[in-house]
Amino acid sequence: MKRILHLSKKLPQIPLLVGLILLGIYTATRVGLALYTGTDSAPLRLWPGIFAKGLWFDLAVASVLLAPVFLYEAMLPNRWRASRLHRALRLFWLWLSVSLLLFGAVSEFTFWLEFSTRFNFIAVDYLIYTQEVIGNIRQSYPVGWIFAAIGLVAAVFVWAMQKWVRHADSATLSRSQRFGLAFAAILVPTLAMLSANIDQMEGQGNSFATELSGNGLFTFAAAMRRNELDYDKFYRTIPQDLADATLSKLGVERTLKSVALSAAPTPGATPFSRPPRNVILITVESLSAEYVGAYGATTGLTPNLDAIIKDSLKFERLFATGTRTVRGLEALSLGTPPIPGQAIVHRPNNEHLATIGDLLKQQGFSTFFFYGGYGYFDNMNAYYRANNYQVVDRTDFPKESVMFENVWGVADESLFDNVLRVFDAKAETAKPFFAQIMTTSNHRPYTYPNGRIDIPSPGGRDGAVKYTDYAIGKFLRDAKSKPWFNDTLFVIVADHCASVAGKTYLPVEHYHIPLIFYAPALLKPASYAPILSQIDIAPTLMDVLGMKGGNLFYGHSAFENGPINERAFISNYQELGYLKNGILTVLLPKQRVESFRVDPKTYTSTPTTIDPQLLNEAIAYYQTASRAFKSGALRAPASRDAPP
């Protein structure tokens, strides 16, 4: 301590102290995250680069946070510095600052546990939905004890720093020192912010290393600036005529130009004995294929789904388009590749689009969106209402129908009971119906009614998966007593996987999700092997129902005539992946492209040379879809002439 005081006595010591505290906590956070992540995911050989880049970002953030401290020191009269009142206020301010920094470190750890990234788009979104997020944290962690521990650690630290603070306040500042502090408060953060860029995190070829190199506040600020990424500005493009021709060869009718409703598909092209009258699409929160026994899991968490699959058409290789619920909802309703930045569900001008709900509504269906939580979250209610769905969420459920709820929503069995209640009330209309159900129980805090399964609540991810499986099994058993059951196709699919952490930008194995078609009166048990994307489900259902509009999606029917165009689209807001022929082509900002060979069994990826044809196909899909939304060409035919 004496040596540090001696070396620093010619410097303004309070800014120096705060700067060391900032860098110390940021470094400790990075060390902790790196140790938690482990050397298998972030090899030791990458650690020097991680910490060198990390120090750069930490210094950039510290320069901004220190600017108010510099200004305060520059303006503080010397006669006030040694007063008891000022010293008490200084110590309180220091305690509060350390507490906030420690709170930030704890927040980063909890975010990393969930997403294996620094703060990003998701953290920005969570600021909007504070009720759900704060409630989730309170129900998932011992918040009171955590706050108490943070306050205590900060108090101990400040107590230990009393001598330094007293020594610092005993020094007087000259006019030139004050001018220097004021000048530094403006110049240093300006230079740092102009020099530092989030893209500098990359370059080590390992996604964990990239994320560990960052600073949470820096990545959070970058996410706020990059909430929307203009495809044409940031990604590789090709002439639109070439893109349209490329998509046409791949069987995609959708272009930037107006597309009319095509004729209904030829009867008999699907494996159904007769077309179903109704469709119930169950979108299961965070259900990775790796949790389902029929897809190879050995944990026994899905006995109901495993039994259902024996009487179903099981799709072996379906891949989610993204890492969040809104991305899955976008793919399932709109059948479009993921555009960079926010999902369309979140964006302005997302009304009257050519969604499956809108197209079926125009052809005589009753269309519904059911959600177990509050549908204002992630803009779900607004999106579905604006696209011809009747929305039924938590606010519409009778109180007596809810036997359990947490911050994210009612227990899945309560959700399903209310679905049946609505269908019973609508049965007399004699209209066919299409319903999408979004579950919530397989989400942190992983709480559910006790007595349903053999894992007490809260049971972590395993318990939540098993409870969701129980609720789906109960729903289908209850539905069997309904007069519409034998005419209904039940589709069970996940919105995304439980985890997306991996050594590469887009770890393919963490996008593999289950897809089940269950209609025992209409469909024989079978297995479907070709690769499909989430965007193929909407056109497949239009095909199965025999309805017009399948050509309005970028996806294709799983049962189309001729060879299947096996490919999948996977993304994470910035990286746009195109999986085909065992090659994952990845489009990145700054017009960069990378390519990986994907093992057909393990889905592990290794770098490989770029295939020009696959690159053109990837660009054609993503470029055209992005431009189509921006221009209003994704609107439903009846709305196409309306201004976007």
pLDDT of residue 99: 92
pLDDT of residue 257: 62
Position 615 confidence tier, pLDDT thresholds 50, 70, 90: very high
pLDDT of residue 501: 64
Residue with tokens 């095909």: 543
pLDDT of residue 126: 64
pLDDT of residue 35: 93
pLDDT score of 6 more than 50: no
Q: Name all domains of the chain by residue range, CATH numbers in brackets.
A: 2-225 (no CATH), 277-558 (3.40.720.10)
How high is the mean pLDDT of the chain? 88
pLDDT of residue 8: 44
Task: Specify the range with the lowest mean pLDDT, choosing from 8-12, 193-197, 354-358, 407-411.
Answer: 8-12
Task: Specify the range with the lowest mean pLDDT, choosing from 7-11, 174-178, 267-271, 589-593.
Answer: 7-11
Is residue 391 helix, strand or coil? Answer: strand
pLDDT score of 136 more than 70: no
Q: How far apart are CA 445 and CA 460, in angstroms?
A: 7
Mean pLDDT in residue range 148-172: 82
pLDDT score of 77 more than 90: no
Position 605 confidence tier, pLDDT thresholds 50, 70, 90: very high
Position 643 confidence tier, pLDDT thresholds 50, 70, 90: very low
Task: Specify the range with the lowest mean pLDDT, choosing from 44-48, 50-54, 183-187.
Answer: 183-187
pLDDT score of 267 more than 60: no
Task: Specify the range with the lowest mean pLDDT, choosing from 199-208, 520-529, 628-637.
Answer: 199-208
**When comparing pLDDT for 552 and 174, which is higher?**
552
Tokens of 612: 């020009």
C-alpha dihedral sign at 206, 207, 208, 214: positive
Mean pLDDT in residue range 503-527: 93
Position 7 confidence tier, pLDDT thresholds 50, 70, 90: very low
pLDDT of residue 270: 87
Position 273 confidence tier, pLDDT thresholds 50, 70, 90: very high
Q: CB neighbours (10 Å) of residue 277?
A: 16
CA neighbours within 13 Å on the CB side: how many for 423?
Answer: 26
Q: How far apart are CA 335 and CA 92, in angstroms?
A: 55
pLDDT of residue 27: 93
pLDDT of residue 83: 76
pLDDT tens digits, 83-105: 778 778 888 888 998 999 999 89
Measure Cα distances from 409 to 149, 345, 418, 546 in Å: 30, 19, 13, 35
C-alpha dihedral sign at 539, 541, 542, 546: positive
Mean pLDDT in residue range 269-288: 94
Pick the most confident of 113-117, 260-264, 507-511, 588-592.
507-511
pLDDT tens digits, 219-234: 888 776 656 677 887 8
pLDDT of residue 640: 47
Q: How far apart are CA 639 and CA 351, in angstroms?
A: 9
Strands 526-533 and 313-319: parallel
pLDDT score of 169 more than 80: no
Q: Print burial letters for 125-140: b (CB count within 10 Å at least 16), e (below 16).
A: bbeebeebbeebbebb
pLDDT of residue 71: 86
Q: How far apart are CA 555 and CA 565, in angstroms?
A: 10
Mean pLDDT in residue range 597-610: 93
pLDDT of residue 644: 42
Position 408 confidence tier, pLDDT thresholds 50, 70, 90: confident
The torsion angles phi and psi of 516, rounded to 5 degrees, stand at -130, 130
pLDDT tens digits, 297-317: 999 999 999 999 999 999 999
Mean pLDDT in residue range 191-212: 84
